[in-house]
Amino acid sequence: MIKSIKKSELSDCLSIMKMAYEASAIRFDQTEYNCPYRGRTRLPLSELEKELHEGCRMYGYFYNDKQVGFLSLTFSDDTMGINDIAVLPECQNNGIGNTLMQFAKEEAKKNNCKTIRLGMIDDNTQLKKWYEKHGYKTDRLIKYETVSYTVGKMEFVI
């Protein structure tokens, strides 16, 4: 079941993000010095509260009353952005990410968006293929001097 996240549930969302993103942070050598919040694995609660306060819509995927997934979305004009899509490692490869991705597309349509955008580590080929399976295409690539990987900006046209 997917439901809206309340401010009181944000610490659970942070835990999910930290666990879901940790392997990627290690694999791509993200540190506090070369990547803000170490790829969101070390995002402070105050920052997530600020995002919620500024209008970011946040959702949790719950299984047996336990939150196991997290999705955060932003809206600007006719574009929706996916800020986070995270699933606990022990719950991955069970369709939860696919369900969250479909939910995001439905939210975009409900809000009359024409595109959905997201950013990801382009060198993470497994994740990139997963996004491509969902219809996303690379819009542009960005190389930052502080990190060894390339950031890919992807887009889904509705």
pLDDT tens digit string along 51-75? Answer: 999 999 999 999 999 999 999 999 9
- Rounded Cα distance between 158 and 2, Å, is 22
- Rounded Cα distance between 86 and 95, Å, is 12
Give the pLDDT score at 38: 81
CATH code, domain carrying 85 = 3.40.630.30
pLDDT at 105 over 90: yes
Q: Of 128, 123, 155, 125, which Cα lies nearest the Cα of 140?
A: 155
Domain that holds residue 83: 2-157
- Rounded Cα distance between 133 and 15, Å, is 27
The pLDDT confidence band at residue 136, using thresholds 50, 70 and 90, is very high
pTM of the model: 0.94
The pLDDT confidence band at residue 134, using thresholds 50, 70 and 90, is very high
Give the pLDDT score at 146: 85
- Rounded Cα distance between 7 and 94, Å, is 27
Average pLDDT on 44-53 reads: 96
What's the structural domain count of the chain? 1
